[in-house]
Structure 1
Amino acid sequence: MVRTLLVSAALAFGAAGAAHAAEPIVGNWKTASGATAEIAPCGGAFCVTLKTGKHAGKRIGNLAGTAGSYSGEITDPESDKTYSGSGSVDGNSLKMKGCVLKVLCKSQTWTRL
Structure 2
Amino acid sequence: MIRSLILAGAIAVIAGTAHAEEPIVGKWKTASGETAVIAACGGSYCVTLKTGKYTGRKIGTLAGTGGSYAGEITDPAADKTYSGSGTISGNSLKMQGCVMNILCKTQTWTRL
Flag as ranges the 4+ runs of structure 1 deviating above 3 A: 18-21
Structure 2 counterpart of 1:14: none
2:38 alignment counterpart: 39
Cα distance between partner residues in 2 of 1:31 and 1:20: 24
> For the pair shown, which has the larger CA radius of gyration, 1 or 2?
2
Q: Structure 2: 5+ residue runs without aligned partners?
A: 1-16
5+ residue gaps, structure 1:
1-17
The structure-2 alpha-carbon separation of the partners of 1:21 and 1:60, relative to structure 1 and needing over 3 Å to count, comes to: farther
1:37-76 equivalences under 5 Å are 37-76=36-75
Return the letter of the residue paired with 1:34: G
Q: Report the TM-score when normalising by structure 1.
A: 0.82
Q: Identity of counterpart residues, as a percentage? A: 74
CA shift, 1:19, in A, is 8.6
**Once the 2 structures are TM-superposed, how far is the Cα of residue 22 of structure 1 from its aligned partner?**
1.6
Does structure 2 retain, via aligned residues, the 8 Å contact 1:83–1:100? yes
> Which segment drifts farther, 40-49 or 18-27?
18-27
CA distance in 2, matches of 1:49, 1:94: 15
Structure 2 equivalent of residue 5 of structure 1: none
Contact 1:27 1:112 in 2 (8 A): yes
Cα gap change, 1:107 to 1:19, in 2 (>3 Å) = farther
Compute the displacement of 1:110 (Å): 0.1
Give the number of aligned pairs.
96
1:87-102 equivalent positions in 2, closer than 5 A = 87-102=86-101
